[in-house]
Amino acid sequence: MTTSSTGLGTSGRERLCLALDLTDRAEIIKAVEELRDLIGWFKLNSAFTLYGPGLVREILDRDVKVFLDAKLHDIPNTLAGYGDAVTRLGVHLVTLHTGGGSEMMRAAVAAADRTAAELGVQRPKLVGVTLLTSVDRATLNGDLNVPGTVEDEIRRRARLAAEAGLDGVVCAPAEIELIRADLPDDFFYVTPGTRSPGGSGNDHKRTGTHAQALAAGSSLLVVGRRINQAADRRQAAAEVLRELREATA
Q: Give the start-to-end residue ranges of the domains of the chain.
A: 10-248
Could you confirm whether 71 is annotated as catalytic? yes
Distances (CA, A) of 91 to 9, 43, 44, 103, 184: 23, 10, 10, 23, 23
What CATH class is the domain 10-248? alpha beta
b/e sequence 9-32, b meaning 16+ C-beta within 10 Å = eeebbebbbbbbebeeeeebbebb
Cα 70 to Cα 90: distance, rounded to the nearest angstrom: 14
What is the residue-level pLDDT of the chain in tens, covering all 249 positions? 233 333 344 468 999 999 999 999 999 999 999 999 999 999 999 999 999 999 999 999 999 999 999 999 999 999 999 999 999 999 999 999 999 999 999 999 999 999 999 999 999 999 999 998 889 999 999 999 999 999 999 999 999 999 999 999 998 888 898 999 999 999 999 998 776 664 444 444 556 788 888 888 999 999 998 899 999 999 999 999 998 888 777
Cα 70 to Cα 92: distance, rounded to the nearest angstrom: 12
Interhelix angle for 102-119 vs 150-163, to 10°?
Answer: 40
Cα 36 to Cα 249: distance, rounded to the nearest angstrom: 23
Nearest to 13 by CA among 191, 231, 247, 245: 245
Catalytic residue from among 43, 71, 125, 205 = 71
